[in-house]
């Protein structure tokens, strides 16, 4: 038997550990907290669940019953979470997420090889994409996703999540990150603890690239680095230096393009970020 409950979602707090960014609403079980909007990440808890399913994926459950999932840029507004309790009963939560409008960014001065790549680099681009997909496919037991997320670098916000981009007048894919512009060599700090699952000095489009695994399918990505200062397998704490801002790959100037992901879904890091520089955070308890 399937037991149903329905809610209409409001925007909720940034994480279990972070300050509430907007008015919170107590929801029915499983007491979801997060950003119920396109690009949002949601953390829930079901201490008596055997299985939790979202978007046809069985979610990993911590020993305390925590789980996490997210919504892509163009996710449907009607969503559904299912779980099986210890008595074998299935339950279903129907809820709605907010639909967003995205700005249009028209960027000029992009090198032509990045707008219309020559045939000789297409195989390299495909291989780069495969490496990134493999890194984002991690479903580790790490539970760093429960931690607060801090600002990874000093600088001006020069680009936002979801914007539709045109390079030299040519329409391209939407932007999936938060851009922080500053001079080349500016330190980039881990905004949350994790394990390095990708550290590449020069991907075609993204240049110097690092991907951190935070567990349960949540990863974060840092691209266009001048220098990559970590290696695959390294464990980093909040505030550790992982690289330097640069202008590598498809860019018009030095900046960090910072992204959050739930497997293949691209999330909005600005919804998660506490606007305190990660290097200023006391990490003695990590």
pLDDT digits over 219-275, tens only? 999 999 999 999 999 999 999 999 999 999 999 999 999 999 999 999 999 999 999
- Considering the domain 104-280, what is its CATH architecture? Distorted Sandwich (2.70)
| Domain ranges for the chain | 2-96, 104-280
Q: In this structure, which topology does domain 2-96 adopt according to CATH?
A: Immunoglobulin-like (2.60.40)
110 within 8 A of 172, measured Cβ to Cβ: no
* Per-residue pLDDT at 5: 54
CA dist 212 and 236 (Å) reads 9
Q: Are 100 and 12 in contact (CB under 8 A)?
A: no
Report pLDDT digits (tens) over 39-60: 999 999 999 899 999 999 999 9
Q: pLDDT at residue 17 above 50?
A: no
Higher pLDDT, 207 or 1: 207
Q: Which residue has the higher pLDDT, 10 or 128?
A: 128
Q: What is the pLDDT of residue 42?
A: 95
In which element (H, E) is residue 151 found?
Answer: strand 149-151
Q: Coil, helix or strand for 189?
A: strand
How far apart CA 181 and CA 253 sit, in angstroms, is 8
Please give the pLDDT value at position 29: 62
The CA radius of gyration of the chain, in Å to the nearest whole number, is: 19
């Amino acid at each position: 038997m399937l037991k149903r409950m329905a809610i209409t979602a409001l925007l909720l707090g940034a994480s279990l550990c972070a300050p509430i960014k907007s008015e919170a609403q107590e929801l029915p079980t499983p007491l979801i907290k997060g950003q119920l909007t396109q690009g949002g990440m949601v953390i829930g808890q079901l201490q008596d669940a055997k299985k939790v399913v979202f978007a046809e994926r069985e979610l990993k459950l911590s020993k305390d019953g925590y789980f996490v999932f997210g919504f892509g840029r163009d996710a449907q507004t009607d969503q559904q979470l299912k779980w099986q309790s210890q008595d074998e009963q299935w339950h279903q939560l129907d809820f709605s997420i907010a639909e967003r409008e995205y700005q249009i960014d028209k960027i000029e001065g992009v090198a032509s090889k990045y707008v219309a790549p020559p045939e000789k680099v297409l195989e390299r681009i495909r291989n780069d994409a495969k490496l990134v997909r493999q890194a984002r496919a991690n479903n580790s037991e790490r539970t760093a996703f429960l931690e607060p997320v801090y600002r990874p670098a000093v600088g001006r916000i020069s680009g936002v999540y979801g914007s539709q981009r045109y390079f030299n007048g040519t329409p391209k894919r939407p932007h999936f990150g938060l851009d922080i512009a500053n001079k080349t060599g500016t330190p980039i700090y881990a905004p949350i603890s994790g394990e390095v699952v990708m550290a590449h000095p020069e991907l075609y489009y993204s240049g110097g690239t690092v991907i951190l695994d935070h567990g349960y399918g949540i990863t974060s990505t840092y691209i266009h680095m001048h220098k990559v200062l970590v290696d695959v397998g390294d464990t980093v704490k909040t505030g550790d230096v992982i690289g330097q801002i640069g202008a590598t790959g498809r860019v018009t100037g030095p900046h960090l393009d910072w992204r959050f992901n739930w497997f293949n879904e691209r999330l909005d890091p600005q919804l998660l970020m506490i606007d305190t520089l990660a290097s200023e955070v006391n990490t003695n308890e990590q």
